[in-house]
């Protein structure tokens, strides 16, 4: 049978906020096909499940999906990581490190990193994966006021929606241990300051800009600047970081050492929440508290890297740091 000649029994629509791979997985299940067979019928020999398809999907693949599956091309484009292009990062590359994108670590058909978060209560309401769960600043579900999770609560396997069986309504079984991802398991709450910073970053991406200290800056400048400051949050070797220089009463018991030498995007979600809380504390009352912390540390300008690559609003402040 030629590619695209299949007569589909069901035509599930792309939900608002749903990520591309989730919709493709649901489409396959609704038509009684495995993900692999479905991809062969729709895309031929193009690799789908052996790639981070939400990041690597190009115009040709999306046009093919739109023509064969009947979903508007503009909506499919909005279901990929490229939706954040020009907002969270300048351009969306298909591989390698990307600011703010939590990596999934594709290895053949498995996932080695915990880059896909989820909210069990959101999954109870609608069994699909959301696009914003892939962004590393999202650590809290503002709809249900609970912490997001990045792994099976029972076996710690990464959350990979396209490997979950949808055969039984309301049951999203972990492919490793069988735990139902839609069953909420209580976890430690996300610090309030981390939630506030998450909301600020999300709002900037949605609006395309942010007002900071009376100045309107683009979302790319604001989000990129926050990521730049994260680079100086923790100490390195004998250099102090911002976290070391904050008074203990402001740290709130949060450790001031990085959990890993890997970039922030690779950290587990609870560690990212702690880091966001510390940074939110430092940038509160911008720029007075940050400058005071740098003087107290002392935190040197060199700890933040080469300033010529930083956004102007960050450069103007860090220029006052020795």
Sorted by where each begins, the domain ranges of the chain are 20-163, 192-319
pLDDT at residue 270 above 50? yes
Instruction: Tokens for 98, please give them.
Output: 């990307």
- What's the rounded Cα separation, in Å, for the pair 181 and 214? 44
pLDDT band at 107 (very low <50, low <70, confident <90, very high): confident
pLDDT at residue 4 above 90? no
What is the pLDDT averaged over residues 274-299? Answer: 93
pLDDT digits over 238-251, tens only?
678 999 889 888 88
What pLDDT does residue 111 have?
87
Strand partners, 118: 149
Query: Any idea which residue has 């008074």 for tokens?
Result: 247
User: 271, 174, 190, 199: which is closest to 230 by C-alpha?
Assistant: 271
Instruction: Tokens for 185, please give them.
Output: 């398991």
What pLDDT does residue 251 have?
81
Query: Any idea which residue has 């490793």 for tokens?
Result: 176
What is the pLDDT averaged over residues 47-51? Answer: 93
pLDDT band at 303 (very low <50, low <70, confident <90, very high): confident
pLDDT digits over 166-187, tens only?
988 889 999 999 999 999 999 9
pLDDT at residue 3 above 60? no
> Can you give the pTM of this predicted structure?
0.94
- What's the rounded Cα separation, in Å, for the pair 201 and 212? 12
What pLDDT does residue 2 have?
47
The answer to whether 226 and 194 have CB atoms below 8 angstroms apart is no
pLDDT at residue 65 above 60? yes
What is the pLDDT averaged over residues 112-130? Answer: 97
The answer to whether 157 and 177 have CB atoms below 8 angstroms apart is yes
128-140-210 Cα angle (round to 5)? 105
């Amino acid at each position: 049978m030629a590619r695209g000649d299949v007569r589909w029994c069901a035509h599930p629509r792309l939900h608002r906020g749903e990520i591309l791979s989730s919709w493709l997985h649901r489409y396959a299940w609704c038509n009684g096909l495995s993900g692999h067979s479905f991809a062969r019928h729709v895309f031929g020999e193009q690799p789908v499940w052996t790639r981070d398809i939400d990041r690597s999907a190009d115009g040709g693949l999306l046009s093919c999906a739109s023509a064969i599956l009947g979903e508007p091309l503009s909506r499919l484009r909005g279901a990929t990581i490229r939706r954040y292009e020009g907002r969270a990062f300048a351009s969306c590359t298909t591989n390698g490190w990307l600011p703010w994108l939590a990596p999934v670590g594709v290895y053949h058909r498995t996932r080695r990193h915990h880059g896909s978060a989820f909210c069990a209560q959101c999954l109870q309401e609608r069994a699909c994966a959301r696009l914003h769960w892939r962004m590393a600043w999202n650590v809290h579900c503002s709809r249900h006021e609970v912490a997001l999770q990045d792994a099976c609560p029972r076996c710690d396997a990464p959350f990979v929606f396209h490997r979950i069986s949808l055969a039984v309504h309301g049951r999203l079984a972990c492919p490793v241990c069988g735990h139902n991802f839609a069953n909420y398991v209580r976890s430690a709450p996300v610090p309030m300051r981390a939630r506030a910073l998450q909301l600020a970053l999300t709002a900037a991406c949605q609006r395309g800009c942010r007002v900071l200290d009376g100045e309107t800056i683009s979302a790319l400048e604001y989000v990129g600047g926050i990521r730049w400051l994260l680079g100086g949050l923790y100490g390195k070797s004998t250099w102090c970081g911002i976290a070391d220089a904050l008074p203990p009463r402001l740290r709130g018991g949060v450790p001031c050492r990085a959990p890993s030498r890997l970039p922030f995007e690779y950290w587990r979600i609870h560690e990212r929440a702690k880091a966001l809380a510390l940074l939110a504390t430092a940038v509160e009352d911008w720029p007075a508290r940050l400058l005071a912390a740098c003087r107290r540390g002392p935190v040197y300008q060199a700890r933040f890297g080469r300033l010529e690559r930083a956004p102007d609003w960050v450069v103007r402040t860090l220029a006052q740091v020795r």
